[in-house]
Structure 1
Amino acid sequence: MKKSLLLLICAGGLYAGARAQDTIPDAGRIQRTVNYLASDKLKGRGTAEKGGIKASNYVARQFKKLGLKPVHGNSYFQEFIFDKQAHKDIPSRNVIGLLDNGAARTIIIGAHYDHLGTAVLFDGKYPIGQIHNGADDNASGVAGLLELARHYVYNHTKESFNFLFIAFGGEELGLQGSKYYTAHPLMPLDSAHFMLNMDMIGRYNPERGLGIGGFGSAAEWPAVFKDVQQPGIRFFTDAAGKGASDHHNFYMHNVPVLFFHTGGHDDYHKPTDDAPKLQAVAEAGILQLGIQLINKVMTFPELHYTGEQKN
């Protein structure tokens, strides 16, 4: 009996240890996520293309496995339709999962899952028919989104904020997913603590460092950033809350934002942005830095928006 009890305790300890390990951003898991999303099988995750739908289904499955709750009825999808120049009634969808801690305020973490696909909707701007796999842009951000979701789901401390995880569609065609969400929010935007957007975080260059935008969007950001550091990751801040990624629409709706990006490179929006070029170990470090910042933000009951006021 004592031996059985000891084995049970040991097994429980190993299980708890495994779950604790799952809370740490993992380079191998990041690489596997990007390998799938940026594979030729998904053909570049184009909006209104089969690969884009497959990518959204993949994210929804991961949200369900992690135990995130849907907030759009029983669906993880927020469907929408938009027009882009001569292209009318283009379908897309956001993928949304909630970690409900019963809190009054919610932290929004986002990344867009779409890329250029086979470039059919870009009117010849990119080589039509070629697969643009978009490993950095933005399979890297989706991998980060899933790692942060895993961290806060498996963290045994119940946080004093809810977490809303959003994988946006249609970003490459004009920030369409975040534009639709902020016009049709599934949780009140005035209860949003802040929004963290990750777009192209997979090609860390130590000479440049990680760029963090939105530093001018909340009065508390200097205090939040004070003494934050992550071994192996240099970063710099930029005051701008506007930008060519999904945080822009939240900023324009009076939500404080942060924007993580590792900068441009020669493979940007080209068929050569492939998974083997991902800097997965550095991305894991970037996400650990993000966790530090999120945890410090949660020590502030409210952030005071200092950006442009929407009319």
Structure 2
Amino acid sequence: MKKVLLCLLIGVLSVSVFSQAEITEKELKDHMLFLTSEKNAGRYPGGKANRRVVKYLKKEFKNIGVKHFDMGYKQTFNATLRVEKGIDKKPVVKTCNVVGFIEGNDVALKNEYIVLGAHYDHLGLGGPSSKSDKKHTIHYGADDNASGTAALLEIAEKIASQKHLLKRSIIFIAFGAEEQGLLGSKYFVDNPLVPLSQIKLMINMDMVGRMNKEKHVYMGGAGTFPDGVDFMQTLGKSLNLTPIVHAGSVGGSDHVSFYKKGISVLGMHTGGHPQYHKPEDTIDLINFEGQKQVADYIFKTIMKLATTDYNMVFIKQD
């Protein structure tokens, strides 16, 4: 009888571990409910809400099994904030990137890194980057970029469950102060935690929560690594997605900072919408099924590149 109960318990635990490691719509939504909550007030750099979000991200990384570098999970920097026209003095606040890694297993290739990133900040109560006439109103930033941050956590969790397969190492970064001028990613590449020459690809997720009926997934920079355009098109189509793949078109978000340092990049998103940089960018408009499909696509991309000796060299695009 004891043997039967033990087998049942092992079976239940195995199912539980497997289900937790999978990317799920529920977990994506749970992360986003926290990130877009009223108390986090639009995730503006500096202040109590920023610290609360950072604490959440650190806890998730630790629970997942993502290791920290010597300085811990926080890479702290000062961010000079944008101000309305006519205001000369720009406030400076302390914020941070939240960074961790999973080490690969190959003696040589573990010293090569793929970076997966997403910015966690947004516009707070609006400010100069807002496209709304509603002043002092929470800009929830569900798609921009709670969607990418939630995907980052879910993908990290699934990769951690399969870390024994990795040859290359993976760095996960939740960037701060992207909306203030890509400040978090600029700080990271200027103060890298590993030599930049060892970073072979940076994948950035910014607004991945609004997939349309045609299942379009847009990306720029696929031509910055060998056969990248064909690779991303073939993989996307195999997952019943409609990838819109550009060899160049590198711009608009944190991957730009890496590209300027001669690092291959992929900037991933599901397209623009009328709620961009407005208070109406809320969680009720998120396509969680589509977000999960994008996260699975990116997970498979990383695993195909990190579990093989795929030739990773930088190719500059015009």
By percentage of residues, which structure has more helix? Answer: 2
- In the TM superposition, residue 55 of structure 1 has moved relative to its aligned partner by 1.4
Q: Residue type of the partner of 1:107?
A: I
User: How has the CA–CA distance of structure 1 residues 271 and 8 changed in structure 2, closer, same or farther, with 3 Å as cutoff?
Assistant: same
Q: Which residue number corresponds to residue 244 of structure 1?
A: 252
Unaligned runs of at least 5 residues, structure 2? 83-88
Matches within 5 A, 1:247-286: 247-286=255-294
Q: Residue type of the partner of 1:225?
A: M
- In the TM superposition, residue 13 of structure 1 has moved relative to its aligned partner by 2.7
CA shift digits 1:94-151 (9 cap, x unpaired): 001111235121111000000000135x388754411000000000000100011000
What SS is found at the alignment partner of 2:146? helix
Which of residues 293, 305, 318 in structure 2 aligns to 1:297? 305
Q: Which residue number corresponds to residue 98 of structure 2?
A: 95
Contact 2:229 2:247 (C-alpha < 8 Å) held by counterparts: no
Q: Which residue number corresponds to residue 176 of structure 1?
A: 183
Q: Distance in 1 between matches of 2:230 and 2:239?
A: 20
Contact 2:45 2:94 (C-alpha < 8 Å) held by counterparts: yes
- In the TM superposition, residue 250 of structure 1 has moved relative to its aligned partner by 0.7
- In the TM superposition, residue 227 of structure 1 has moved relative to its aligned partner by 3.0
- In the TM superposition, residue 155 of structure 1 has moved relative to its aligned partner by 1.9
Matches within 5 A, 1:141-152: 141-152=148-159
- In the TM superposition, residue 84 of structure 1 has moved relative to its aligned partner by 4.3
- In the TM superposition, residue 305 of structure 1 has moved relative to its aligned partner by 0.6
What SS is found at the alignment partner of 1:16? helix
- In the TM superposition, residue 93 of structure 1 has moved relative to its aligned partner by 0.5
Q: Which residue number corresponds to residue 10 of structure 2?
A: 12
- In the TM superposition, residue 224 of structure 1 has moved relative to its aligned partner by 2.7
What SS is found at the alignment partner of 1:267? coil
Q: Does 1:161 align with 2:168?
A: yes
Contact 1:206 1:233 (C-alpha < 8 Å) held by counterparts: no
Q: Distance in 1 between matches of 2:151 and 2:292?
A: 8
Q: Residue type of the partner of 1:304?
A: V
TM-score, scaled to structure 2:
0.89
Q: Residue type of the partner of 2:119?
A: H
Identical aligned pairs, as a percentage? 31
CA shift digits 1:222-247 (9 cap, x unpaired): 45336313545321101225311001
Matches within 5 A, 1:46-57: 46-57=44-55
Unaligned runs of at least 5 residues, structure 1? none
Q: Distance in 1 between matches of 2:188 and 2:96?
A: 10
What SS is found at the alignment partner of 2:97? strand
Q: Distance in 2 between matches of 1:15 and 1:130?
A: 45
Contact 2:80 2:180 (C-alpha < 8 Å) held by counterparts: no
Q: Which residue number corresponds to residue 38 of structure 2?
A: 40
Contact 2:36 2:141 (C-alpha < 8 Å) held by counterparts: yes
TM-score, scaled to structure 1:
0.91
